[in-house]
Chain A
């Protein structure tokens, strides 16, 4: 069941739009814990004081896979590499773009890049090696 056309996911779509503009942020609480949107409460400490802080420009791949059997939403995209990258205060999951999936490895330095699914045309969070 998907949203009707044009319905935005508050917090999330806003974040993607900011990331497309190169203005990526994460949320930081009064105690310095980082988290991703949408969020009203820090999941680490319960703080309600969350503010936007600029995301570090580069992250490092901590683990990855190469997916050959995707969900229908990524049928035309496979095979593709997915990774978890560490950006310091937050870790993020995304698809690795601009490189042969077989060349992806732990420790690779990446930057965020919002890309598009070949299957659905929808935006997806991606990483590009730097």
Chain B
């Protein structure tokens, strides 16, 4: 089984650019990834592309071939849709293809155009990742669904809004050095607590922004990287995926993410690591409570204790296990189809020492990326490690 190397990464700035089409965004990200990798486009054997709301935001289905064309690649292309875990799922499929010998070079990524829909339109488009009949028609929005989980968490384990506020403050702090981030602006706890309510107990600063952006990765087999003398010291060594019932009310737990736990266990086993080996992680913090659930699902924090991790400094840049050194979805932005692959890009750069925040993880050898779809009815987890080359 071949090791899977991250040969190149590319990201557009994440943010508010309603005029930019998905194809323009993905073209920019892919150009950056090819330049970073030195891999020629002709060597790409397939494009695996994540996107969620293209039909609603761009009236565009069948985006796989369109995006291969935008990237200048002549190869079969497939779109992966798994709500906000779309490109995490695409990465997982790419890893499996390279491992089983089917491919040596793949272009993987994702893009999302969202801000052109406006807040109301984007809220409606995001809501369709929930169960239409039994959740959306009852008025459940995406922030609303996470608010249901936050309240359930408070009731079951304790904690309060101020604990969540520290997560937002931490992730904004981490984004200050990330020139691709949507918000490079520090906030304090009172900003979060005094922000307008979106869906109580969550307010505006508990939520990630609506974003436009794209991500791209050039992934290769170990043999290809060696044969072509690529500078690709980071490998994806573990992959996992978990699933759960679609509607939140049908889950066994309202304040836990079993799908993410399943994905994490599978990815750790696959890489032969455990949570104690994880030096840092990029987790899917679409809302502040989501980071808490992710840390507990990944065994980085015990069940019921993740709520205090940011407040006590365990997950801050100088803490034991820095979480979301990129700024996370909260401050970096969340163009949903781009997010999963962008997390892999951030972990790669942090491990390779080429990220603005690499200084906080200078001895790190193992990083994790956690990407969640919907209210975590889908989840992918990837383990990345520095190789000996």
Contacts and interface: CB of A to CB of B under 8 A. Distances in A.
Given A71-B123, A91-B249, A63 B148 contact: yes
A93 B140 contact: yes
B254 A82 contact: no
A67 B199 contact: yes
A43 B245 CA distance: 9
B331 to A, nearest CB: 20
Nearest to B123: A71
B127 A69 contact: no
B254 A84 contact: yes
A68 interface: yes
B162 interface: no
Given A65-B201, A77-B139, A93 B248 contact: yes
Contacts of A57: none
B295 to A, nearest CB: 20
Contacts of B147: 65-67
Interface string A109-125: 00000000100001011
Interface stretch (B17-25, B130-138, B180-188, B364-372): B130-138
B124 interface: yes
A74 B151 contact: no
B302 interface: no
A83 B199 CA distance: 12
Nearest to A12: B133
A92 B119 contact: no
B200 A125 contact: no
A40 B151 CA distance: 33
B134 A82 contact: no
Contacts of A63: 148-149, 151-152, 155, 254
Contacts of B120: 71-72, 75
A91 B120 CA distance: 28
A36 B200 contact: no
A82 B155 contact: no
Given A64-B151, A70-B123, A84 B249 contact: yes
A82 B151 contact: no
Interface residues of A, number: 35
B93 to A, nearest CB: 25
Contacts of B201: 65
A21 interface: no
Interface string A12-48: 1000000000000000000000011000000100000
Contacts of A117: 139
Contact of B144 (A62, A82, A124): A82
A92 B134 CA distance: 8
A54 interface: no
A9 B138 CA distance: 15
Interface of B: 119-121, 123-124, 127, 133-141, 143-144, 147-152, 155, 196-202, 245, 247-250, 254
Closest 5 CB pairs of A and B: A65-B147, A63-B152, A91-B249, A66-B200, A71-B124
11 contacts: A68-B198, A69-B123, A71-B123, A71-B127, A73-B124, A73-B139, A84-B248, A92-B249, A93-B135, A93-B138, A117-B139
